[in-house]
Every structure is written in structure tokens, then in C-alpha cells.
Amino acid sequence: MRHFLEVDDLSADELTAVLDLAERADPPAVFAGRGAALLFEKPSNRTRVSMEMAVTQLGGHPISLRNEEVGIDTRETAEDLARIYSGMCALIGARVFEHSKLERMTTVATVPVVNLLSDDAHPVQALADLLTIRQRFGALAGRSLAYVGDGNNVCRSIMAAAAVAGMEMRVATPAGYEPPADGRSTLTHDPAEAVAGADAVYTDVWASMGQEEDAARRRADFAGFTVDDALMAHAGAEAVFLHCLPAHRGEEVATSVLEGPQSAVWQQATNRMHAQRGLLWWLLTTGLGTSR
């Protein structure tokens, strides 16, 4: 049995298999009427809708649970919840603050556990990002991806995804906001250097969920890191713009870029559903050692 807490839990071949399944229009009922327990310690929009749709398309019953209903580590431990849902559902998805809660669930769960976002990683988003780039350019290997902004959980998962897919990854952040070096990605404090000739340019909000009190300071620190038309001009001629949303127009991205012809953001958002469907399909067949 396989869990999915970060993109590099998959090998390159397994990642390709997941993306191939994501693009198939004939999803089988791999849930066979069983449920998927979806825990949301953090509020959710795209993740909840896309996961509920993916489960439904695979013949399952999505059960979304808010933290005030569940109380991870307050009413019941993460381990107890994993045991309970393993006995009732075919899969557990959780959107949490501390990544360790997911890791603890995997130690006792008897069904696959999927990271729907943690403070450390956002791997289901990265799957949709790769799917979008592959749809635009074909093979991922050898393509270049530039990320401009905060070295947050989204950035770290994209770095992991690029490494598995054989892509060149460049990250530009202000000093003090760098992601951990992975020995494969290029880290810089110059957005133009990161974007130069890139096939895809990616950004995220400067203040993520839970960082709202730091928003004013971050806006000052991130001055000069807005992805605008001038910065996109440094990218490749066929470059696409990506954003995991929600977007703050005029801060991390200019409206003209978000709404412009290079933007693949809405395709990327829809691909959350497709990519997650491919992942769940893979986890409940190949990941469980079956060939259905």
C-alpha cells in the first residue's frame, strides 16, 4: 500500500503513470461505492471541490470533515482518526498545518493517506502544475520552470516535482524567504535571472494562510517580485504563466499577466480535479498492488 505525502513519493515512471491516468476519459469505479474521508484542518476551496469531484468520478462517496467537527489532536489523535477512517473508507485525505500529523496517520492507516496540503508541502497542486505544463509542451523532461516569490510549501513541492520529472527548476525569492536547498534547483534573489528563457513562470501569494498578520511586512519585503509584463518578457517566447490561486492582483501578479494570453491559470485550476483523479486511480489500483 502506498501513501502520497510529497511528489517524490513517486518515481519518474510512477509520476508519468499518474499523469497518463489523469488524462483518460474512462475512469473506472475503483472506489466501488466506498467512501473517501477528507479532513480539512485548514479552509479549502479548490482542494475540496476538486477532490470531491475526483472521488465521485471514480465511483466513490466523498465525506468532507471540518476540523471543528473532528478536532485533530484535540478531540481525537491523528492516529485514532486514521484507524477509524481506515475501517470505513477506502482512502484518507487531509489538509493540515503540521506535516507530522500526516506522517503519524501513515503509521497506523490501512488505506492510502493523501496530503491535501500541509505547512511543508502541497503535492496535489504540483501534480496539476505538471499536468498543465505537459499539456502545453508535451514531454516534461528538459523543460524549465521558474518560480518567483515565497519559498513556501507550494514552492517546495514544485521543486520536488521538477526533480522527479527531469525539469530545470529556478527559484527567485527575497533574502530570508528561500526554500531549503535541494541540490538540484537554482536559487537566486533576482527574478529576471530565474525567469530568463523559462518555459513556465509560477508565483503564489506573498502571505499564505496563517500569515495574514505579516502581510504588510511581506509586501515591503517582496517589492520587485511581482510577475508583470516586464518580467514575463524575460521568459521564453512560448512561456506560460501559472498560479495556484487565490491571486492578489497587483501584488504577486499583475492583472495583465493573470488575465493575459500567456496565462494557463484556469486550465491549471481545472487540472486539480483531473490530476487528483489520476492519483486516486493509481493509489487504489497500482498503489495497492492490483491491476484493475
Catalytic positions are 95, 122, 125, 204, 244, 272
CB-hemisphere CA count at 13 Å for 211?
16
φ/ψ of 277, rounded to 5, equals -60, -45
d(CA 272, CA 98) in angstroms, rounded, equals 22
d(CA 138, CA 248): 30
C-alpha distances in Å from residue 160, one per residue of 1, 157, 165, 280, 283: 22, 5, 9, 20, 19
Longest dimension (CA), the chain: 54
Tell me the chain's radius of gyration from C-alpha atoms: 19
Instruction: Calculate ∠ Cα 146-282-204, nearest 5°.
Output: 25
Name which of 222, 271, 270 is nearest 248 in CA terms.
Answer: 222
Residue 207, helix vs strand vs coil: coil
Q: How far apart are CA 224 and CA 244, in angstroms?
A: 20
Q: How many helices (H) and strands (E) does the chain have?
A: 12, 9
Cell 511543508 identifies what position? Answer: 120
Is-contact 139 161, C-beta < 8 A? no
